[in-house]
Amino acid sequence: MINDRPTQLRVNLDALLNNYNKLNSLNNEKIGLAVVKADSYGLGSKVIAEHLYQNGVRHFATATLEEALELKDVIKDSMVLVLGVINSQNVKYAVENNVSLTCPSKEWLEESLVHLQQIEGKLKIHVKLDTGMGRIGTSDLEELKEIDNLLDSEKIDFEGIFSHYSNADGEDDNYDNYQTENFERSLKIFTHKPKYIHIENSAGTVKYSNRDDQYNLTRIGIAMYGCYPSGNIEKLDKVQLEPVASLVSKVTHVKKFQAGQKLGYGVSYEAKQDEYIATVPIGYADGLLRRAQGFKIRVGSEECEIVGRVCMDQLMVRCSKNVKVGDDVLFFGEYSGQKVSVDEFAEYQNTISYEIFCCINKRVPRVYYKNKMEL
């Protein structure tokens, strides 16, 4: 296949595995569940999950049943938990493929039991408790008692129970403590004890690594991909994460502009003096959005500002006369001796690293490497 554009999203599998191992070792009593939902935050779940599997990881999570089924051929006998709610009519696919599902309510469990009567095997479920996130799951204690009664069914394998911190990356522990108390209160309702109890996301994994509790699994997401959930978590200085993803390209055109000359859609930029403008083949159709205008990227060894509006397929930067066609361009990550923080790139656009990764369009090739060699 021809790929004439030099724009790439480069993924360092060594750094990814190192981050997972560092996070997993923060508390050796707990199992690190690798979150590979949303195509591993846009970085390519099939390659990433297979690499983790080949290096001993056996616990994964996706957002949808479709995502889970797409990965079963590369992670085989692993536990794969679907974190979202699936249509109860499709529980047979979970049973047939040994996929664990989230149980968000008594109604969902009752509906699933009806469909399970038509198939062989047990359905593995993780009951979701809403302790303060307000997204899915239940906090009603009476409903939880009814769910507990339904777990007596021979068609159910009660594998786990969990919740989700909504402010673990915040400045204090107040809301975390509130959620933990709710979680503990709800856990006492259940006469059945599951194999896994979990509430910690990436932020919680780092923040509460020394906590003595009954939880035995942590969900490792954005931190595995080299980003701290927030500056508050980074300040704890408990783990040194390695950058995993780098968005790169090359200069395709350079021209000299005269003072007063305008460029781009809406002629939103005017040269204040004689200067040079370089064009780079990446735009909002690739996931580099218009709000990145004004951010300073690395072109060769220079720091160059994105000027004019970001186009669908290209953008322009102000540079010196030393920039040439073919020079390397780095938007975030590490490449060719240069480094740009994805968090810095995200903060400039008033967003978070999660969104930056997920926005990179599929037409941008993912290039994987380990031991400094491309795969």
Q: Which residues sit in the known binding site?
A: 135, 312
Catalytic residue set = 37, 265
Confirm if 19 and 223 have CB atoms less than 8 A apart: yes
Residue 348 CB neighbour total at 10 angstroms? 14
Residues at the annotated binding site for substrate? Answer: 135, 312
Confirm if 80 and 62 have CB atoms less than 8 A apart: yes
Instruction: State the Cα–Cα distance between residues 8 and 22, nearest whole angstrom.
Output: 27
Instruction: State the Cα–Cα distance between residues 27 and 42, nearest whole angstrom.
Output: 28
SS3 188: coil
E strand segments, 104-155 = 123-128
Provide DSSP, 29-96. Answer: TSEEEEE-HHHHHTT-HHHHHHHHHHTT--EEEESSHHHHHHHHHHHTTSEEEE-S---GGGHHHHHH
Structure tokens at 198: 């979990």
Structure tokens at 254: 């350079």
Residue 347 CB neighbour total at 10 angstroms? 14
The total number of residues written for the chain in this structure? 375
Confirm if 345 and 331 have CB atoms less than 8 A apart: yes
Instruction: State the Cα–Cα distance between residues 38 and 52, nearest whole angstrom.
Output: 16
Residue 117 CB neighbour total at 10 angstroms? 8
Element holding 8 (H helix, E strand): strand 8-12
Instruction: State the Cα–Cα distance between residues 241 and 333, nearest whole angstrom.
Output: 12
Confirm if 132 and 179 have CB atoms less than 8 A apart: yes
